[in-house]
Amino acid sequence: MSRIGKQPIEIPAGVTITVGDKEITVVGPKGQLIVPVQPKTTVKVDGNVATVTRADDEPKSRAWHGLQRALLNNAVIGVTKGYEKKLEVNGVGFRLSGGGQDIEMALGFSHPVKYHAPEGVQLATNKMEITVSGIDKQKVGQVAAEIRALKKPEPYKGKGIKYVDEVILRKAGKAGKK
């Protein structure tokens, strides 16, 4: 049996899970998320515990089993705590401004770069740090990756946008002649 799929999901107080034919609705204090039902899996809610089971032992069914449990658990965490990713901007002359849905960045190009976040994702700037937050784990990660892709960190001086916990491997510059 799937190691992830067989684990029960604890449902905190204030969170309701409604299981339908094609989708599962998770409602909590921070909002509502809809999780699609994977083929050959069933979700049962008993009190404050949700369990995911599968129809058979085929490889696809085992994969969907773990996926269904992970998606449902991520939705429960999202509507209670939420998710956030932090990005750090390094570089001489780089600047950040704005917040909410839109931020404007000076990243060494001839023009300022504007980024508009999709619905459900909030952006906040603090000096040279961008915080991406929201209830949908996939959207938060996607927005953080799109912002990082605007100016990836380079290996010589480390200039660019990187995740706060990311380590940039530095290269040596040119060796001088002797």
In the block, which residue shows the tokens 């034919």?
Answer: 21
Q: What is the mean pLDDT of the chain?
A: 94
Given 54, 80, 106, the domain boundary residue is 80
Cα separation, 26 vs 19, in Å, equals 9
In a domain, 175, yes or no: no
Asked whether residue 103 falls in the same domain as residue 75, the answer is no
Number of separate domains in the chain: 2
Helix (H, G, I), strand (E, B) or coil at 160: strand
- Same domain for 90 and 76: no
Residues 54-74, mean pLDDT to the nearest whole number: 95
For residue 124, give the nearest of 115, 111, 113 by alpha carbon.
115
Q: Quick one: average pLDDT of 39-46?
A: 94
The tokens for 87 are 């990005």
* Predicted pLDDT of residue 177: 74
pTM above the 0.85 mark? yes
Residues 23 and 49 in one domain: yes
136 or 99: which carries more pLDDT confidence? 136
Closest by CA position to 84, among listed 147, 16, 47, 137: 137
Strand partners for 104: 97, 114
- Parent domain of 151: 83-163
Residue 145 belongs to a domain with what CATH number?
Answer: 3.90.930.12
Residues 28 and 48 in one domain: yes
pLDDT at 176 exceeding the cut of 80: no
Domain finish residue from 80, 99, 122: 80
